[in-house]
């Protein structure tokens, strides 16, 4: 199908991408149809898709997609649909609990909210008195009420408010920010040539990228080149799959740059106008020939050369896709930097079908006089060890190392919101050691996660379908502001995070920072939405979005990029000043010894986070994880599918069943995340399969501090 025909079909209202069928310009001001259900926003993963909750007689009957969101469009995935079961799951936390036995013993005493608040506040005060506010750690993952948890930690005076990005995408965001001053989106709807390296976008769903990739490759016949040691669903739909040697993506990209620059296939006018450091880059990539890269990547030089030429020819409608979870190797930042540079030199910046700087939807803010800045520096010493990383987010693994050593000072209280560090961090043994050395551990969650299982007090949070949250802006090519409103009354004795923060704040003398309701907070945000009667609009529609993409707004002579020089920095002085390579330098990764394998990880549509494996509908698709191993080593080790294996690394040992498959390189093994739970209250996955976090060793990217989760070698044998 021709692009024009496809766009016309979209304009005519195909079911593929319904929002584009709307003829409105600017903000979407009203819904196209009668919205059957309560508009709210999914929370099962970071995508935050809009949905309509159908409620009958006070119970959730169905969740439907809300087509008014230009980002999630008329799509709600399997994970999103499974949220109903989360509400009615008998494994949910139903009331506050205080530990009655040893940590991890599973003995709990149900208590009132007052008793839980008093208990936690007294413990926090005791730690503060002995070690100062910096003796407390407040860690969380993303969520609309995360702001209240973070605020409580900051108001308490702790510098150790720890967010999740260094377990996720910090190396990618830092690499693109260092180069462009911002993190762009990739216009997969309009790209003609897409390279994805390990971003398994057909299985690990990101909206709108997954839908756009389907539209682009399946309908519009855009070219998809896919690099991955595993034959994934994305590989099966790609035009080319190259089972690249793990850890060598940077060599592939540098060789592409070598071809494009030495053959002068780059966008000369764009490079001249908008970038800094081209001459240094040209000299830098000369040794990185395709013949050299073939030896590193095991991808034929002829293929690398052909792909580089085709990529440059297709530009600006060509993208080397950034990926999202970028916690792979210790050189991850430099690999993502090379991606960013490759994209820059072909001039796909801010063009249709290229990379597009994100737009945002304006919203208001509930403001109040904040607390004093903390007096102590952070325990992870991020400013000293990772001066370019986001200091407010922190660096998780170096933090754990310092807490275990007790340097630069002791941390003895750990509050955790909506996160399961026992699975989110590599080396579960170390995380458990960190928990055990705490005087106090408090967890806020909707289910008894493995971390909650080892806590002293567990605060049950209301499910997202039972509460109202702040308005959140989702930046992108099709940005949206989304609203999460209560669809049903809380089923159990649970509270939203704001109420939990208020309960603790009252006892900690911090009520001045929480003297408002969620309604007041949201109304302040809604006041500045780009629609009339913002609050009323959100209650009726749940979303404000921009339907029309804008291209080229930063392609003008006066635009200053948010970098040190104001240009797109191919060569980075700031990196050089901080002691890092100003241009990406390749170092060959260590290879597993003959009797070992590299453990690699990945996601699929029905499992992204460890918290999802216990949900019945998702569990039906993933009853137990297994270890993918290639037939060649399997034969050598006399392993057959279904055999119980013992897999060990320097961090730990697990038992897991074998899946013998040619869909993985012989030097790697693969397993899904989120199984082998210790918590007996997660009945479907308690002691079922194995936890990757037990095997993964501690390693991080040198520049961003991002966890490096593909640096572990394991020994595999029959149990």
Residues that bind another protein (CB under 8 A): 46, 48, 142, 154, 163, 165, 169-170, 173, 177, 181-183, 362, 365, 367-373, 383-384, 387-388, 390-393, 472, 474-475, 528, 560, 562-566, 574, 577-578
**At closest approach, how far in Å is the CB of 53 from another protein?**
22
Phi and psi for 181 in degrees, rounded to 5? 80, 5
One-character DSSP codes across 183-246: --EE-TTT-SEEEEES--TTTS--TTHHHHHIIIIIIS--EEEEE-SB--HHHHHSSEEE-PPT
**Among residues 44 and 388, whose Cβ is nearest to another protein?**
388
Alpha-carbon span 139 to 630, nearest angstrom: 38
**Among residues 88 and 516, whose Cβ is nearest to another protein?**
516
**At closest approach, how far in Å is the CB of 558 from another protein?**
13
**At closest approach, how far in Å is the CB of 703 from another protein?**
13
Measured from the Cβ of residue 132, the count of other Cβ atoms closer than 10 Å reads 16
**Among residues 29 and 111, whose Cβ is nearest to another protein?**
29
One-character DSSP codes across 439-508: SEEEEEESB--HHHHT-SEEEEBPPGGGS----EEE-BSS-EEE-----S--SSS-B-HHHHHHHHHHHH
**Distant-in-sequence, close-in-space partners of 398: CB < 8 Å, separation ≥ 6:** 380, 381, 382, 385, 386, 700, 705
Alpha-carbon span 95 to 354, nearest angstrom: 50
**At closest approach, how far in Å is the CB of 352 from another protein?**
24
**Among residues 476 and 633, whose Cβ is nearest to another protein?**
476
Closest CA to 699 of 603, 608, 598: 598
**Among residues 282 and 707, whose Cβ is nearest to another protein?**
707
**Among residues 397 and 664, whose Cβ is nearest to another protein?**
397
**Among residues 173 and 428, whose Cβ is nearest to another protein?**
173
**At closest approach, how far in Å is the CB of 544 from another protein?**
14
**Among residues 466 and 569, whose Cβ is nearest to another protein?**
569
**Among residues 365 and 620, whose Cβ is nearest to another protein?**
365
**At closest approach, how far in Å is the CB of 177 from another protein?**
6
**At closest approach, how far in Å is the CB of 208 from another protein?**
15
Measured from the Cβ of residue 144, the count of other Cβ atoms closer than 10 Å reads 21
**Among residues 305 and 572, whose Cβ is nearest to another protein?**
572
Q: Half-sphere exposure of residue 194, counting CA atoms within 13 Å on the CB side? A: 37
Cα 700 to Cα 147, 326, 489, 708: the distances in Å are 27, 11, 43, 5
Q: 402, 379 in Cβ contact below 8 A? A: yes
Q: 202, 233 in Cβ contact below 8 A? A: yes
Strand order from edge to edge, sheet including 480-482: 472-474, 480-482, 543-545
Q: 195, 227 in Cβ contact below 8 A? A: yes
**At closest approach, how far in Å is the CB of 495 from another protein?**
23
**At closest approach, how far in Å is the CB of 569 from another protein?**
11
Beta bridge partners of 41: 50
Alpha-carbon span 354 to 318, nearest angstrom: 6
**At closest approach, how far in Å is the CB of 444 from another protein?**
19
The radius of gyration of the chain's CA atoms, rounded to the nearest angstrom, is: 25
Beta bridge partners of 195: 225, 320
**At closest approach, how far in Å is the CB of 393 from another protein?**
6
- Parallel, antiparallel or unpaired: strands 355-356 and 568-569: unpaired
**At closest approach, how far in Å is the CB of 652 from another protein?**
30
**Among residues 433 and 528, whose Cβ is nearest to another protein?**
528
**Among residues 564 and 657, whose Cβ is nearest to another protein?**
564
């Amino acid at each position: 199908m021709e692009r024009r025909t496809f766009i016309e079909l979209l304009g005519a209202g195909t079911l593929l991408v319904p929002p584009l069928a709307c003829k409105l310009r600017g903000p979407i001001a009203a819904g196209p149809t009668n919205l059957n259900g309560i508009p709210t926003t999914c929370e099962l993963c970071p995508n935050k898709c809009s949905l309509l909750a159908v409620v009958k007689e006070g119970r959730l009957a169905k969740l439907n997609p809300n087509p008014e969101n230009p980002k999630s469009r008329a799509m709600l995935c399997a994970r999103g649909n499974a949220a109903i079961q989360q509400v009615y799951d008998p494994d949910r936390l139903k009331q506050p609990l205080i530990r009655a036995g040893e940590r991890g013993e599973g003995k709990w005493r149900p208590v009132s909210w007052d008793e839980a608040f008093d208990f936690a506040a007294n413990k926090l005060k005791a730690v503060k008195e002995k070690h100062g506010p910096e003796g407390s750690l407040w860690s969380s993952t993303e969520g609309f009420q995360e702001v209240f948890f973070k605020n409580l930690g900051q108001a308490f005076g702790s510098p150790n408010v720890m967010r999740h990005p260094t377990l996720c995408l910090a190396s990618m965001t830092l690499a693109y920010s260092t180069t462009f001053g911002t993190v762009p989106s990739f216009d997969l709807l309009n790209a003609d040539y897409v390279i994805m390296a390990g971003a398994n976008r057909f299985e690990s769903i990101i909206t709108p990228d997954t839908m756009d990739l389907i539209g682009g490759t399946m309908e519009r016949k855009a070219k998809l080149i896919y690099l991955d040691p595993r034959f994934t669903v994305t590989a099966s739909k790609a035009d080319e799959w190259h089972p690249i040697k793990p850890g060598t993506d940077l060599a592939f990209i540098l060789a592409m740059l070598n071809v494009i620059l030495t053959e002068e296939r780059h966008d000369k006018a764009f490079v001249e106008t908008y970038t800094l450091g081209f001459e240094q880059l040209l000299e830098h990539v000369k040794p990185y020939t395709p013949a050299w890269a073939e030896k590193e990547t095991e991808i034929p030089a002829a293929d690398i050369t052909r792909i580089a030429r085709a990529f440059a020819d297709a530009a600006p409608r060509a993208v080397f896709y950034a990926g999202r979870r970028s916690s792979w190797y210790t050189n991850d930042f430099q690999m993502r930097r090379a991606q960013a540079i490759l994209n820059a030199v072909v001039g796909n910046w801010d063009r249709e079908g290229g990379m597009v700087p994100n737009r945002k939807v304006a919203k208001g803010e509930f403001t109040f006089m904040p607390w004093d800045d903390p007096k102590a520096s952070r325990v992870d010493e991020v400013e000293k060890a990772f001066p370019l990383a986001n200091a407010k987010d922190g660096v998780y693994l170096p933090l754990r190392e310092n807490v275990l050593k007790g340097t630069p000072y002791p941390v003895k209280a750990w509050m955790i919101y909506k996160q399961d560090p026992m699975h989110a961090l590599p080396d579960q043994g170390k995380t458990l050691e960190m928990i055990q050395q705490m005087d106090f551990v408090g967890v806020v969650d909707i289910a008894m996660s493995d971390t909650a299982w080892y806590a002293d007090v567990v605060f049950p949070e209301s499910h997202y379908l039972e509460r109202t949250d702040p308005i959140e802006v989702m930046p992108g090519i099709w940005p949206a502001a989304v609203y999460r409103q209560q669809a049903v009354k809380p089923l159990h004795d649970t509270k939203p995070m704001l109420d939990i923060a208020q309960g603790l704040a009252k006892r900690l003398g911090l009520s001045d920072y929480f003297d408002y309701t969620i309604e007041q907070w949201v109304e302040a945000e809604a006041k500045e939405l780009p629609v009339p009667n913002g609050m009323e609009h959100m209650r009726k529609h749940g979303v404000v979005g921009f339907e029309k993409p804008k291209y080229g707004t930063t392609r003008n002579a006066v635009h200053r990029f948010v970098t040190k020089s104001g240009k797109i920095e191919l060569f980075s002085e700031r990196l050089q000043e901080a002691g890092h390579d100003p241009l990406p330098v390749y170092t060959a990764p260590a290879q597993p010894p003959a009797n070992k394998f590299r453990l690699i990880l990945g996601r699929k549509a029905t499992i992204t986070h460890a918290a999802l494996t216990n949900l019945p509908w998702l569990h039906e698709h993933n009853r137990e994880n297994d270890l993918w191993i290639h037939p060649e080593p399997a034969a050598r080790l006399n392993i057959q599918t279904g055999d119980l294996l013992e897999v060990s690394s320097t961090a730990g040992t697990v038992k897991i069943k074998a899946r013998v498959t040619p869909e993985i390189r012989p030097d790697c093994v693969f397993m899904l995340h989120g199984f082998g739970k210790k918590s007996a209250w997660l009945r479907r996955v308690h002691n079922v399969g194995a936890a990757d976090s037990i095997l993964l060793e501690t390693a991080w990217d040198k520049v961003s501090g991002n966890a490096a989760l593909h640096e572990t070698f394991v020994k595999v044998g029959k149990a």
